[in-house]
């Protein structure tokens, strides 16, 4: 089989790469290879009534058309400073233009028109309050799609591409083919080889380990990138209402006093629920929020970024190790009351039941996160909870629930050009899995950026 461009992965980066190629180079033969299922066939067993998470061959929450974005809460963060590292490759003006371009495409396919975080007076007041307590507030306009609407938007995008690109679902790529310093295509798990002039790697977080193995095999240069490990915090929604009312997802940064580590809030879900993800035998934790339904709680992640020094250079493996340790001790995701953690004791079902925060993840195992998280990570998280409590009283309550662990498997980062091309000519890397982005909007923009570079080689703008 032969095509002009093969795209590995049908998450946001891969979808937007395909749409931009078809827009820029009409008649181009584009193939999307996706190891998961089509959007209409994706269903987590727990949605169908399973009492707890089971070990699926590919987690339906992160694999398939739309990638992890299909089950995300669908926040489009329209700031160059949030959601990824594209500012390393283009200037802020170009990046903002890219984000606005992508945002308009989301709106055309069903994203709502409402924007959060646009009241400048309230934003400035929140920024000043945060600074008093050594917190850096990063303002941003946010468009919230909602987990329930994300699938509709992604279905609309799929329908717009049907008949214009070929898509192989439930198909895994085994190898990237390269010869003479240039990409030649891919080899599938069934042994079939697909020849292509260009290859775009948009494999996402779910395939970050595969991508790391491949780039090492191809002897591509890996850059040092932080490992993001932490917990998901769950509190009564009114506790964070003073912040989420102003900006749907407050982005706050903190530098710990003891270890000088950077801690950040991530993926705030007002009136949402805590969920789990399953990746290659490892359970991790995440959060959702919806457009049409609400819980009584708000959840958010606190992630600690740590950059390792030589000789260590396997951040994805390290994150997997920490997640496996939590699974080993708790049989999956562990939940612990903050008060129990501070008293040096494990949480039990009885202690959880006595608390004022009812867990939205019903099958999390009460346990002790101090047996899982490294001391410096746990210490930095506890410091930030104290700081957050100053601007959102109640966050540092003994009843606050902590779920662990949350790990983001996008720590690998390749040496790339401004057009996101690797050291192998015509081989591009985009999205979360390649460490280029950390969310929907920049993942989508990275696909556009790579496709524009390819379009330029066809002599088109």
- pLDDT tens digits, 319-369: 889 999 999 999 899 999 999 999 999 999 999 999 999 999 999 999 999
**How far, in Å, CA of 334 to CA of 340, rounded?**
13
pLDDT number for residue 279 = 74
How does pLDDT run across 41-62, given as a tens digit for each residue?
A: 888 766 655 555 555 666 777 7
SS3 at position 190: coil
pLDDT number for residue 290 = 86
pLDDT number for residue 227 = 74
**How far, in Å, CA of 354 to CA of 358, rounded?**
9
pLDDT number for residue 319 = 84
**How far, in Å, CA of 432 to CA of 447, rounded?**
11
% helix, strand, coil for the chain, step of 5: 35, 25, 40
Of the two residues 349 and 438, the one the predictor is more confident about is 349
Whether pLDDT at 391 is above 80: yes
Least confident of 44-53, 98-107, 377-386: 44-53
**Residue 225: pLDDT band by 50, 70, 90 thresholds?**
low
What is the pTM for the complete model shown?
Answer: 0.86
Residue whose token pair is 């057009």 = 419
With contact defined as beta carbons under 8 Å apart, do 109 and 153 qualify? yes
Whether pLDDT at 413 is above 90: no
Mean residue pLDDT across the chain: 91
Domains of the chain are 2-115+142-223+414-457 (3.50.50.60), 227-408 (no CATH)
Both tokens assigned to 272: 């949402």
- When pLDDT is averaged across residues 59-71 and rounded to a whole number, the result is 80
pLDDT number for residue 68 = 78
pLDDT number for residue 50 = 59
With contact defined as beta carbons under 8 Å apart, do 434 and 414 qualify? yes
Whether pLDDT at 232 is above 70: yes
**Residue 145: pLDDT band by 50, 70, 90 thresholds?**
very high
Total residues belonging to the chain: 461
Q: Residues of 135-169 as b/e, b for ≥16 C-beta within 10 angstroms? A: bebbbbbbbbbbbebbbbbbbebbebbeeebebbb
Q: Is the dihedral of CA 90, 94, 96, 98 positive or negative?
A: negative
- When pLDDT is averaged across residues 13-22 and rounded to a whole number, the result is 97
Least confident of 70-79, 269-278, 413-422: 70-79
Pairing assessment for the beta strands 262-269 and 251-255 based on DSSP bridges: antiparallel
- 91 CB burial (10 A radius; 0-12, 13-18, 19+): exposed
How does pLDDT run across 279-320, given as a tens digit for each residue?
A: 767 889 999 988 888 999 999 999 998 776 667 667 778 888
- Percent residues over pLDDT 70 in the chain: 93
With contact defined as beta carbons under 8 Å apart, do 267 and 144 qualify? no
Q: Which long-range contacts (CB under 8 A, 24 or more apart) does 108-112 make?
A: 109/153, 109/156, 109/157, 109/160, 110/149, 110/152, 110/153, 110/156, 111/74, 111/76, 111/143, 111/145, 111/149, 111/153, 112/143, 112/144, 112/145, 112/149, 112/291
- When pLDDT is averaged across residues 432-445 and rounded to a whole number, the result is 91
């Amino acid at each position: 089989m032969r095509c002009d461009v093969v795209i590995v992965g049908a998450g946001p980066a891969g979808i937007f790469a395909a749409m931009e190629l078809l827009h820029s180079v009409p008649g181009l033969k584009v193939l999307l290879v996706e190891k998961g299922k089509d959007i209409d066939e994706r269903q987590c067993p727990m949605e169908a009534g399973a009492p707890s998470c089971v070990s699926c061959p590919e987690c339906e929450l992160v694999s398939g058309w739309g990638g992890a974005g299909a089950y995300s809460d669908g926040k489009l963060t329209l700031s160059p400073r949030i959601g990824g590292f594209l500012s390393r490759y283009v200037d802020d003006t170009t990046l903002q233009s890219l984000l606005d371009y992508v945002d308009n495409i989301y709106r055309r396919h069903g994203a709502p028109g409402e924007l959060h975080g646009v009241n400048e007076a309230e934003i400035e007041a929140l920024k000043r309050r945060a600074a008093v307590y050594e917190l850096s507030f990063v303002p941003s306009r946010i468009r919230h799609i909602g987990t329930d609407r994300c699938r509709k938007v992604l279905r609309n995008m799929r329908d717009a591409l049907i008949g214009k690109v070929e898509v192989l679902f439930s198909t895994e790529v085994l190898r990237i083919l390269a010869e003479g310093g240039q990409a030649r295509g891919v080899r599938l798990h069934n042994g079939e080889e697909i020849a292509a002039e260009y290859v775009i790697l948009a494999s996402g977080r779910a395939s970050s380990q595969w991508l790391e193995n491949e780039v090492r095999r191809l002897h591509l240069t890996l850059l040092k990138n932080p490992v993001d490990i932490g917990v998901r915090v769950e509190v009564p929604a009114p506790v964070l209402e003073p912040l989420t009312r102003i900006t749907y997802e407050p982005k706050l940064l903190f530098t710990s006093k003891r270890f000088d580590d950077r801690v950040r809030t991530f993926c705030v879900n007002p009136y949402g629920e805590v969920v789990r993800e399953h990746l290659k035998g490892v359970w991790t934790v995440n959060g959702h929020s919806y457009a049409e339904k609400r819980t009584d709680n708000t959840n958010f992640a606190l992630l600690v970024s740590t950059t390792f020094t030589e000789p260590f250079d396997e951040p994805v493996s390290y994150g997997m190790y920490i997640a496996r340790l939590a699974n080993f001790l708790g049989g999956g995701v562990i939940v612990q009351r903050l008060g129990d953690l501070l008293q040096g004791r494990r949480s039990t079902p009885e202690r959880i039941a006595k608390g004022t925060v009812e867990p939205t993840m019903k099958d999390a195992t009460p346990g002790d996160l101090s047996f899982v998280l490294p001391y410096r990570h746990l210490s930095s998280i506890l410091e930030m909870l104290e700081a957050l409590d100053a601007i959102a009283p109640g966050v540092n309550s003994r009843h606050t629930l902590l779920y662990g662990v949350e790990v983001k498997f996008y720590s690998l980062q390749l040496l790339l050009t401004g057009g996101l091309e690797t050291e192998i000519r015509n081989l591009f890397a985009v999205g979360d899995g390649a460490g280029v982005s950390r969310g929907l909007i920049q993942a989508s923009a990275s696909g556009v950026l790579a496709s524009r570079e390819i379009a330029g080689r066809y002599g088109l703008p």
